[in-house]
Structure 1
Amino acid sequence: MGEKTFEPWNDPEAKPLIQFKNVTKRFGTFTAIDDQTFDIYEQEFFALLGPSGCGKTTMMRMLAGFEKPTEGTILLGGQDIAPIPPNKRAVNMMFQSYALFPHLSVWDNIAFGLKRDGLAKDKIEARVAEMLKLTRLEKFGQRKPHQISGGQRQRVALARSLAKAPKLLLLDEPLGALDAKLRQDTQFELMDIQEKTGTTFVIVTHDQEEAMTVASRVAVMDDGKIIQADTPARIYEMPNSAYVADFIGDVTIIEGRATPSGDGYDIAFAEDQPDLHAKSDITFTAGQTCYLAIRPEKMRISAEKPDDLPNAVRGKILDIAYLGNLSTYHVELPGGQIIKAQAANTRRLSARPFTWEDEVWLSWTATAGVLLEG
């Protein structure tokens, strides 16, 4: 028996911790959130992902109580949170700037909210010790924020946010101030801490890699709406629209016209180019516009035309992005369509088979691409 997977959203018995019910938020004539209904479950690490201005921060501010919905309701544990002031909610928020008190020690920063609530001294000491251990800051309790690194300050802010054991912790671009290597390490720390505390985390980020790394589910937003909320694997492998496919990771999107054929579709996409072939759960009518989204790692790149794959196109290497372990080739077809293909760099640079301007064949299976309506 393997471990039971954590998928409360697939369990009809599971009660959501947070329920958005037809929530709309307007600022004057501008609609920031447009009639959204969705659930977040206990112990989830839920990511709101999207470009600037898509509404993700407004969602979070409504959860925190800094904004009220114009229409609809937000329930926390089955209770409408609109009448409850921010400081009385079982919700805490960690800001991008960390907002630590510079004159207080790390210990006092973590203890601040507990003292304000009038908790007994021994209880405060026990809780702060627990938080320092959880965030691996035991040695730094007496230091001031300016005496520790950015990554450590980030952990102090997290410890302070979790000290009061909120049901829900909101994280607004929490890793934005950290450099790339530290961000990566901190992502795993965040996941670890979230798992140990069992607190529900909702993170706002515009960094797709971050969302895909830390989250149990990712909600991809655009223009005040959640376009798709799903596990990282499904968002990547089974996007529900060209927007989501394009937003997450590297992808080539080929626009064409679909015609049913056998157990799939033929896709006409350019003059003088052979039809492409794809399978799909979506039903297309003959001649309907479709978008074929293909990830570069699903492509095979070769010097000779392969005869074992249903899709094969010929083009010229326009660009090569060398990423150490991988190279991404941008291959231009005669009609101008550019397709990205990725290959692992198993050989030394001098022994690699392809370079700029080379004519190559790209090929892929009928199930490698996702056929979408738009």
Structure 2
Amino acid sequence: MADTVFAPWEDPNEKPLIQFVNVTKRFGDFVAIDNLTQDIFAKEFFALLGPSGCGKTTMMRMLAGFETPTEGKILIGGQDMTGIAPNKRPVNMMFQSYALFPHLSVWENIAFGLKREGKPKDQIEARVSEMLRLTRLDRFAQRKPHQISGGQRQRVALARSLAKAPKLLLLDEPLGALDAKLRQDTQFELMDIQEKTGTTFVIVTHDQEEAMTVASRVAVMDEGRIIQVATPPVIYELPNSVYVADFIGDVNIIAGAATPANDGYDVDWAEGQPSLHVKTDKSFSKGQKCFLAMRPEKVAISADEPQDVANKVRGQIIDIAYLGNLSTYHVKLADGTMMKAQLANTRRLSRRSLTWEDRVWLSWTDTAPVLLEA
């Protein structure tokens, strides 16, 4: 049988595991979560992404039962969680600090919750062994937390959280304490473990790369609201607002006014500059203010004027960011607008033709940008 794409949110017959229904959370006069409704499905790896103070941690704490909604309700598996204590919910939470017991071995840390539940000894041993295997910690079972690395401590915390087989695991900035390389490796480990266990993971992060790597869907948040929920490719390629376009990755944003023109729109953006043409399914009225958002990797840069392209503008290289595999060119256009174009560094340094202060052409297709309402 062919693999079907995992997208339960597109199936009207699928029942969500988690339902936020018109949830508002206030702390005094401050509205942390503003009338939020959102479904999360079983086996999802769901990321709450946004800047500090956007409400993502409050959402997670309400799921865990550490905070109570001011209005609205939260359901898990169809059951209203109002008044249900944190330890009575089918939920486990992994904290940023890992919160391991320093005097207990790795094995004892993982077994701790199972012992407290009074599980039989043979069941505990079997479950801990399974968790050690899953997180590749068998060799470290007898060590104390201070005798293992940060990445290994992170896996102990994960194994301990999963030992009780929760329906739902909440991860609060779980990789925040790891260095960049280890973070990357651990992201893939997390995805692997999530897939193997089939547990629903909800992760809170302000790191867009992390969210885009691990998640089945990403919810981009701002000021207590979810601005867009979609799969990582949709969030990146088809942001629904300037806020989302700007929050995820690098982007060029040009303000202008739209005029309908052959199967798309002409965008007037600067005095004395030719208009830019964009194809889109969205509707704009004549002269409506809009933003053209486009990723730097979709912009070609050349010394010679390109022919037969939908859009081209002239500018001067002001800055070059060298990122190893890529270089990002910061180009100043005639009206002072700054644009970024990205090129893969396939040639050796000495063979590259473009440098600072060069006059260049930027060009792109009419389907490269997204046209957004102002």
Shift of residue 304, structure 1, vs aligned partner: 1.3
Note the alpha carbon deviations across 1:85-137, whole angstroms, 9 max, x for none: 00010000000000000000000000000000000000000000000000000
Matches within 5 A, 1:274-289: 274-289=274-289
Look up the match of 1:71: 71
Look up the match of 1:310: 310
Q: Distance in 1 between matches of 2:210 and 2:4?
A: 25
Q: Distance in 1 between matches of 2:244 and 2:174?
A: 23
Aligned AA for 2:311? N
Q: Distance in 1 between matches of 2:52 and 2:2?
A: 40
Q: How many residues align?
A: 374
Q: Distance in 2 between matches of 1:299 and 1:195?
A: 36
Aligned AA for 1:282? K
* Identity over aligned pairs, percent: 77
Say if 2:261 is the partner of 1:252: no
Look up the match of 1:174: 174
Say if 2:150 is the partner of 1:147: no
Aligned AA for 2:246? D
Look up the match of 2:232: 232
SS of 1:182's equivalent in the other structure is helix
RMSD: 0.6
Q: Runs of 5+ in structure 1 lacking a partner?
A: none
Note the alpha carbon deviations across 1:298-332, whole angstroms, 9 max, x for none: 01111111121110000000110001110000100
Say if 2:328 is the partner of 1:328: yes
Look up the match of 1:292: 292
Q: Distance in 2 between matches of 1:81 and 1:74?
A: 6
Matches within 5 A, 1:187-202: 187-202=187-202
Say if 2:57 is the partner of 1:57: yes
Q: Distance in 2 between matches of 1:195 and 1:373?
A: 38
SS of 1:291's equivalent in the other structure is strand
Aligned AA for 2:211? A
SS of 2:318's equivalent in the other structure is strand
Q: Runs of 5+ in structure 2 lacking a partner?
A: none
Matches within 5 A, 1:153-164: 153-164=153-164
Shift of residue 45, structure 1, vs aligned partner: 0.1
Q: Distance in 2 between matches of 1:319 and 1:303?
A: 16
Note the alpha carbon deviations across 1:127-179, whole angstroms, 9 max, x for none: 00000000000000000000000000000000000000000000000000000
Q: Distance in 2 between matches of 1:57 and 1:263?
A: 43
- TM-score under structure 1 length normalisation: 0.99
Shift of residue 273, structure 1, vs aligned partner: 1.2
Matches within 5 A, 1:80-95: 80-95=80-95
Aligned AA for 1:298? K
Shift of residue 334, structure 1, vs aligned partner: 1.4
Q: Distance in 2 between matches of 1:274 and 1:304?
A: 18
Q: Distance in 2 between matches of 1:50 and 1:197?
A: 27
Aligned AA for 2:194? Q
- TM-score under structure 2 length normalisation: 0.99
Look up the match of 1:129: 129
SS of 1:332's equivalent in the other structure is strand
Look up the match of 1:217: 217
Shift of residue 2, structure 1, vs aligned partner: 3.7
Note the alpha carbon deviations across 1:58-98, whole angstroms, 9 max, x for none: 00000000001000010000001122100010000000000
Say if 2:270 is the partner of 1:270: yes
Q: Distance in 1 between matches of 2:299 and 2:334?
A: 18
SS of 1:249's equivalent in the other structure is coil
Aligned AA for 1:318? I
Aligned AA for 1:190? L
Q: Distance in 2 between matches of 1:305 and 1:271?
A: 21
SS of 1:188's equivalent in the other structure is helix
